[in-house]
Chain A
Amino acid sequence: MLYREAGQFKASYQEDQQIFPIRQDKLGFIAILGFFFVVLPLIASEYWLQAILIPVLIFSLAAIGLNILTGYAGQLSLGSAAFMAVGAFGAYNFILRIDGMPFIVALLLGGLCAAAVGVAFGLPSLRIKGFYLAVATLAAQFFIVWALVKFPWFSNNSSSGVITAQHVEILGFAFDTPVLKYLLTLAIVAVLALVAKNLVRSTTGRGWMAVRDMDVAAEVIGIRPMRAKLTAFAVSSFYCGVAGALYAYTYLGTVEPEGFNLDLSFKILFMIIIGGVGSIMGSFLGAAFIVLLPIFLNVAMHALFAGSMPAGLGSNLELIIFGGLIIFFLIVEPHGLARLWQIGKEKMRLWPFPH
Chain B
Amino acid sequence: MKLKHTALIGATIAGLLATGYAVAASEQFIGLPSYRVGPFGSNGASLYGGWIDYMAMVNERDGGINGVKLTWEECETEYNNARGVECYERLKTKGATGNTVFQPLSTGITYSVLEKVAQDKIPMVTIGYGRTDAADGRVFPWVFPMISTYWTQASAIINYLGTKEGGMDKLKGKKIGLLYHDSAYGKESHAILDKLAAKHGFTVEKLAVANPGNEQQAQWLQIRQMKPDYVILWGWGVMNATALRTAAKTGYPREKVVGVWWSGSEEDTIPAGDAAKGYTAAGFNVAGANYPVVQDIKKHVYTKNKGNMEDKERVGTVLYNRGVVHGIITVEAIRKAQEKYGKGKSLTGEQVRWGFENLDLDNKRLTALGAAGFMPDLKITCADHEGGGKVKFQQWDGTKWKVVTDWIEGDKSVVRPMIEESAAAYAKEKGITPRDCTKEM
Check B184–A315 contact: CB distance below 8 A. Answer: no
Check B73–A302 contact: CB distance below 8 A. Answer: yes
Distance to closest chain B CB from A81 (angstroms): 12
Distance to closest chain B CB from A263 (angstroms): 8
Asked whether A303 and B184 contact (CB < 8 A) given A51-B89, A162-B111, A259-B81, the answer is no
| Residue B174 at the chain A interface, CB threshold 8 Å | no
Bound CA span A259–B41, Å: 18
Q: How large is the interface on A (under 10, 10 to 19, 20 to 34, 35 or more residues)?
A: 35 or more
> Which single member of A160, A161, A311 contacts B36 (CB below 8 Å)?
A311
Distance to closest chain A CB from B207 (angstroms): 14
The total number of A-B Cβ pairs within 8 Å is 102
| Residue B308 at the chain A interface, CB threshold 8 Å | yes
| Residue A215 at the chain B interface, CB threshold 8 Å | no
Contact with A along B406-437 (1 / 0, CB 8 A): 00000000000000001000000110000000
Check B111–A159 contact: CB distance below 8 A. Answer: no
Asked whether A298 and B76 contact (CB < 8 A) given A51-B89, A311-B308, the answer is yes
| Residue B37 at the chain A interface, CB threshold 8 Å | yes
Distance to closest chain B CB from A334 (angstroms): 28
| Residue B108 at the chain A interface, CB threshold 8 Å | yes
Check A160–B85 contact: CB distance below 8 A. Answer: no
Contact with B along A302-320 (1 / 0, CB 8 A): 1110100011110110110
Cβ contacts under 8 Å, A295 to chain B: 86
> Which single member of A52, A161, A318 contacts B187 (CB below 8 Å)?
A161
Distance to closest chain A CB from B16 (angstroms): 7
SS class, residues of chain B in contact with chain A: helix
Cβ contacts under 8 Å, A202 to chain B: none
Bound CA span A75–B116, Å: 39
Most chain B CB neighbours (cut-off 10 Å) among A160, A256, A258: A160
Check A46–B89 contact: CB distance below 8 A. Answer: yes
Most chain A CB neighbours (cut-off 10 Å) among B36, B73, B184, B308: B184
Bound CA span A255–B92, Å: 21
Distance to closest chain B CB from A150 (angstroms): 9
Check B82–A258 contact: CB distance below 8 A. Answer: no
Bound CA span A211–B115, Å: 47
Bound CA span A311–B45, Å: 9
> Which A residue sits closest to B48, measured CB to CB?
A311
| Residue A261 at the chain B interface, CB threshold 8 Å | yes
| Residue A50 at the chain B interface, CB threshold 8 Å | yes
Distance to closest chain A CB from B86 (angstroms): 4
Residues of A at under 8 Å CB distance from B?
46-47, 50-52, 55, 149, 159-162, 164, 251-256, 258-259, 261, 294-295, 298-299, 302-304, 306, 310-313, 315-316, 318-319
7 residue pairs from A and B, CB less than 8 Å apart: A161-B187, A252-B81, A254-B111, A254-B115, A258-B184, A315-B35, A319-B37
Closest 8 CB pairs of A and B: A51-B89, A160-B184, A315-B36, A51-B86, A254-B111, A312-B36, A47-B89, A258-B183
* 9 further interface pairs, Cβ-Cβ under 8 Å (given A256-B184, A312-B310): A46-B89, A51-B86, A55-B86, A160-B107, A254-B111, A258-B108, A258-B211, A306-B73, A311-B74
